Amino acid sequence: MKLYYSAGVCSLSVHIVLREAELAAELIKVDIHAHTLADGSDYFAINPRGYVPILVLDDGQQMSEGPAIVQYLADLKPAAGLAPPNGTMARYRLQEWLGFVNSELHKGFAPLFDPSSPDSVKAATVAKLAKRIGWVAEQLDTKPYVLGEQFSVADAYLFTILNWCRGVGLDLNDWPVLAAYQKRVAARPAVREAMHVEGLIR
């Protein structure tokens, strides 16, 4: 397999899941601003939409969209316990979380990364995100991970997106439960390895 990624963006969740599941993949870094690879070639030739992640399977098929990719990887290695079995209520709860992180958190950050967004829009965006993040903190008040005791692909995604808070004026220390959650996930060996490879930690 091959994973097209860019450091610290949403593709980090897929990178974490690969390492948690101990699945081998070639990592190919993408400059998502210039839409080029390290050799200068055009990334649009790989993904016409221009964004990451893209997972290329051994048979040449491509997968896009992080929530779909991480479930696929979890199902390749069920013994890793990264996703409940298909058809169970627990699996639907996982999909519920992936959908929430994708639509209510991940996409919610977009105006904050757009230099053309007016300050008023950015302020309104931060306020809306704070409410969503506060809800997440309530859900994690009595459990270590979003589904309970077991780390899942939803945690890889949530951790990745919450990492963006520090750069946009949201302080996770305002939600001690989430500050502790981030530290707990960041301490996992697979997470540390992924972040080190991407140059996010030393």
Summarize pLDDT for 100-151 with one digit per residue, the tens: 999 999 999 999 999 999 999 999 999 999 999 999 999 999 999 999 999 9
Tell me the CATH number of domain 89-188, given options 3.40.50.10470, 1.10.10.10, 1.20.1050.10, 3.30.465.10: 1.20.1050.10
CB 164 within 8 A of CB 138: no
Domain boundaries, the chain: 2-80+191-197, 89-188
pLDDT at 126: 96
pTM, two decimal places: 0.97
Please provide the DSSP assignment of 132-184 as one string.
HHHHHHHHTTT-SBTTBSS--HHHHHHHHHHGGGGGTT--GGGSHHHHHHHHH
- Is a pLDDT exceeding 90 seen at residue 167? no
Quickly tell me which residue has 């949530």 as its tokens.
158
> What tokens were used for 186?
């960041």
What's the topology of domain 2-80+191-197?
Answer: Glutaredoxin (3.40.30)
Q: Strand order of the sheet with strand 36-37?
A: 36-37, 26-31, 2-5, 54-56, 62-64
In angstroms, the Cα distances linking 11 to 58, 127, 135 are: 19, 25, 24
